[in-house]
Amino acid sequence: MSDSPVVRLEKDGDIGLIIINYPPVNALGPGVSEGIIESLNTANADPSIKALVLIGDGRSFIAGADIRGFGTGRKHLPLGQRTYDALDASSKPVVAAIHGFALGGGLENALACHYRIAVPSAKLGLPEVLIGILPGGGGTQRLPRIVGAQTALDMITSGRHVPAPEAALLGILDEVLPEGADLRQSAVAFARKIAGVTPLPRVRDKTVTAEPGVFEAMRKSVARKARNQKAPYHCIAAVEAACNLPFDEGIRREAELFAELESSDEAKALRHAFFAEREVAKLPDLPRNVVAHEFTAPAVIGAGTMGGGIAMAFADFGFDVKILDATPEALDRGMERIRSNYATSVKRGSLGADEMQRRLARIHPVGGYTDIADSDVVIEAVFERMDVKKPIFEKLDDILKPGAFLFSNTSALDMDELASVTKRPEYVAGTHFFSPANVMKLLEVVRPSKASPETLMTAMALGRRIGKISAMAGNTDGFVANRSRAPFNSEMVILLEEGCLPEQVDRVMVDFGYPMGPFAVGDLAGLDIGAEGRRRRALANPNYRKLPIADKLVELGRYGQKTNAGWYRYDKGDRTPRPDPEVAAIIASVAAELGVPQRSFTDTEILHRLLFASVNEACRILEEGKAYRASDIDVMWLHGFGFPRYRGGLMFWADGIGVKNVHAQIAAWHQRYGERWAPSLLLRTLSETGTPFLEAKPAPFV
Ligand code: 3H9
């Protein structure tokens, strides 16, 4: 009946169906809103249509406004003439029929319909805050009118996806269909049932009030997470307007607040993070027809902290997983650690006791290699030494069936060398998990030269199947994440030689947005771990920049939290880092021994010293073809190192400073501090041509 390419009007007897077809997720891209309005007008003018259904083709209802259009001076319909207004004003009832996702503008359109029904697997939410904006299609005004101010605040400031059954309990949905019911048919039947109802139920006609103190309490509760951000506070202000102003005035207030956010730095950074996370999944140099292998029988070798965490990650995502260690005692200890980690989550309330039992039951400790002979993917997570890993790879190669994949959880070892001990190097790759492996989202997939495209796709997909964000890294010392981070780690200690204190550096980085300062993180991880790596690197490279202050601390047995002393001191049983005059004295004495002149630092200088060092190394990684794109490095920093998401990632942030400024500063430090600050070739080229880091063309992946 209507031939807009993205929205069509069909008829099923006396019911009109407005069908959105804008793949892949029915975002409100160009023409979709206009198409909905046009169909509504046509249907309202057609006397043979008694009621309407708004429904999506493909895998979703509507996933929200088209995020690519934000901040681009996009055209938008004026207030009073938007789809939400047209749906409100429809003289015939409209039923939103929801499957897949109804998010952001998608849910807002549904809320402007007169009725909402959904299949049980549908998810509804207003996730705008996660991209630095607020629901600007009336969501902040309509949702509280249905669920009350508190629940609306919770949903809007968290952006969480609410499953359909819960949405029905909250009153957002009028009906959840039985499992397996046909959505289109059910929606038509529902529409027939309510055709002719008067007056039409309109959410805008409801009122909402709030308990005193709700908004202040919410501002306090988001304060930690929302540090340096505006959007969460604007979300709260908009819901407050829903409670204090008539509907149309509330909508105007929502629009004003939205306009302040759309082009904000945080919104730009968060949009970048959103798209970077999708881009990172793409492996552009692999043949297009390669598909990941569907694995069903994973096994983990090594029940230490990493192996246990990896097994938990499988169990958390519904996989039965076998776990093996060298001795029954080590296996028992590992299982005990897993149990205790789950028990902590139960105690904290983030996991139900039943669910803990279900997950534990999926982890199967086994006694020997023959027990895992039928596994189709094995992740080795034993001690990080080539001479320990090699015999295990040989054994696995012998015992596993042809076609089984062999992955190593390594953070540093040469994957080509490890693959070479097997007769199936094409089935071998690195899978570098971050600690704790069941919590941290990053999975760095390391690509040895002989790995087949299917192996790489499988390793990437495996990560996604267990809730990770997989990112491909070349087989280079430290791979991509840790290699790009290493200069930051050195620079933060070198700063101490020049007169900084750990607490000053940590404060700067926490102010910047990290959840913890890097020295406090070091104490948590254990300072002895880094010392081993430094020793190895110093032996291999006579020009290696030693870190005598860090070495001194380890020499004195200050290993961090586990010894109640590291960069900070800790009271027994208390993890609060306390500045320690003893550390200040150690720093002063090493600096005096080295004869380094002492001076003071601005916060900006500290921040730039740490991050520019890493930007320079990231450029080297790109120029060597060890990563596909600069934005992959951003994803690694966001999910591997807690880089503040609202700053987009290392390279996005550096583009904010400007490539020429970054280069000029690095060149100046090169003059002052010597070779470790030599600008990379790529950095020089980008600076000369004024090309942003994110537009850098890396060398072909090797
Ligand atoms: C909003 O609604 C503002 C309103 O208040 C109105 C203001 C006036 N736009 O994630 P996937 C693309 S703000 C453009 O891999 P999944 C995505 O980039 C919006 N593109 O699939 C990818 O493209 P490609 C509020 C979008 O099944 C492809 O679709 N809504 C959008 O794992 C597949 O995506 C949101 O914030 C979009 N809105 O997850 C929801 N959504 O193939 C954002 C997706 O080229 N979206 N794409 O890489 C999501 O959370 C997930 O994509 C979703 C599907 C859960 C829907």
Between 688 and 540, the more confident residue is 688
Cβ 156 vs Cβ 172: under 8 Å:
no
Radius of gyration of the chain (CA): 28
- pLDDT tens by residue, 150-182: 999 999 999 999 999 999 999 999 999 999 999
Tens of pLDDT, residues 278-302: 999 999 999 999 999 999 999 999 9
Ligand 1: which atom is nearest the Cα of residue 126? 25
- On whether the CB atoms of residues 29 and 69 are closer than 8 A, the answer is yes
Question: According to the model, what pLDDT value does residue 1 have?
Answer: 54
Of ligand 1's atoms, which has the minimum distance to the CA of residue 105? 2
Atom number, ligand 1, closest to the C-alpha of residue 123: 55
Helix (H, G, I), strand (E, B) or coil at 42: helix
pLDDT of residue 152: 98
Residue 696 has a pLDDT of 97
- pLDDT of residue 72 exceeding 90: no
**What is the reported pLDDT for 3?**
58
Of 127-136, 209-218, 447-456, 537-546, where does mean pLDDT reach its minimum? Answer: 537-546
How many whole angstroms separate alpha carbon 495 and alpha carbon 600? 10
2 pLDDT exceeds 70? Answer: no
* Ligand 1 pocket test, candidate residues 22, 36, 67, most atoms within 8 A of CB: 67
Distance 356 CA to ligand 1 centre (A): 32
Question: Phi/psi zone of residue 177: left (φ > 0), alpha (ψ -120 to 50 degrees), beta?
Answer: beta
Q: How far is CA 413 from CA 147, 209, 448, 544, in A?
A: 53, 60, 11, 18
Q: What is the pLDDT of residue 351?
A: 96
Distance 694 CA to ligand 1 centre (A): 21
Q: How far is the CA of 561 from the centre of ligand 1 (A)?
A: 41
* Euclidean distance between CA atoms 334 and 326, whole angstroms: 11
Nearest Cα residue to atom 16 of ligand 1: 25
Dist. CA 536 → ligand 1 center (Å): 45
Ligand 1 atom closest to the Cα of residue 106 is 2
pLDDT digits (tens, 9 = 90+) for 593-631: 999 999 999 999 999 999 999 999 999 999 999 999 999
Q: Give the nearest ligand 1 atom to 101 CA.
A: 56
At residue 505, the pLDDT reads 98
Record the tokens describing residue 607, joined without a space: 């921040």
The pLDDT confidence band at residue 541, using thresholds 50, 70 and 90, is: confident
In tens, the pLDDT along 239-277 reads: 999 999 999 999 999 999 999 999 999 999 999 999 999
How much is the mean pLDDT over the chain? 96
Q: How far is the CA of 27 from the centre of ligand 1 (A)?
A: 7
- Ligand 1: distance of its center to the CA of 161 in Å? 13
Nearest CA to ligand 1 atom 51: 63
What are the DSSP E strand ranges found in 544-670? none
**Residue pLDDT, tens place only, 101-115:** 999 999 999 999 999
What is the C-alpha separation between 486 and 545, in angstroms, rounded?
12
| Among protein residues, the one whose CA lies closest to atom 43 of ligand 1 | 63
Q: Whose CA is nearest to atom 8 of ligand 1?
A: 136
Q: Residue of the nearest CA to atom 10 in ligand 1?
A: 278
Q: 65: CA distance to ligand 1 center in Å?
A: 8
In degrees, to the nearest 5, what angle opens at C-alpha 325 toward C-alphas 389 and 483? 40
Closest residue by Cα to atom 53, ligand 1, is: 63
What residues are in contact with ligand 1 under a 6 Å CB criterion? 24-25, 27, 63-68, 101, 103-105, 108, 127-128, 131, 135-137, 139, 278
The per-residue pLDDT for range 524-534, each reduced to its tens digit, is 989 988 888 78
pLDDT digits (tens, 9 = 90+) for 627-656: 999 999 999 999 999 999 999 999 999 999
Active-site residue set = 108, 128
pLDDT at 392: 97
Ligand 1, pocket-test mutation among 6, 20, 22, 25, most atoms within 8 A of CB: 25
Distances (CA, A) of 311 to 276, 289, 399, 401: 28, 30, 20, 21
Angle CA(474)–CA(476)–CA(479) in degrees, nearest 5?
A: 70
